[in-house]
Amino acid sequence: MMMEVLSEIVSHPEFPEGEAWVRHPLKANEVIVSEGEEGGSLFFIETGELRVTGRVELEEERRVQPGICDLAAGDVFGELSLFGNRTRTANVAAITDAVVVELDGEKLGRFLDRHPDLGYRLLKELFETLAGRLSRTNRQMENLFAWGLRAHGIPKYL
């Protein structure tokens, strides 16, 4: 459903390619978003697979970059920076060759103001996407917390 709404938006004559959105062909291992950079756009994947990673500092000079999730055709990312420039919170790189469409947040906002029916459908889909991600993150955090308790023998003290 998300792909349908986004495809409708990018094919609309009032939302021109090259001005309001751009298509990015990516090679495997190519980075499209880097943690810490300013963002103001939404991305959706037309083809291929991408990996979202974060950065965790274990010690002063020791860091790891765990995979947060893998994304595939039809998935979106960058929505946290969509309606207001915010710092990107993760890295996103292609696992395989991929094609990603980037929608300019400011231009998208103005377009959706003129087309509230599409705006409602897009925001509904984004809400469902975010709710699903939050549920998965909660489960991951619970599992990680439980693992930490078991790894350190803490449950026997509870």
Number of H helices, E strands in the chain: 3, 12
Task: Judge whether residue 10 has pLDDT over 70.
Answer: yes
What is the tens place of the pLDDT at every residue in 13-43? 999 999 999 999 999 999 999 998 999 999 9
> Whole-prediction pTM value?
0.80
Between β-strands 41-47 and 56-59, what pairing exists: parallel, antiparallel or unpaired?
unpaired
Domain 2-145 has CATH 2.60.120.10: yes
- How is the chain split into domains, by residue range? 2-145
Task: Judge whether residue 64 has pLDDT over 60.
Answer: no
What is the tens place of the pLDDT at every residue in 71-103? 999 999 998 888 777 889 889 999 999 999 999
Handedness of CA 131, 24, 97, 12 (dihedral sign): positive
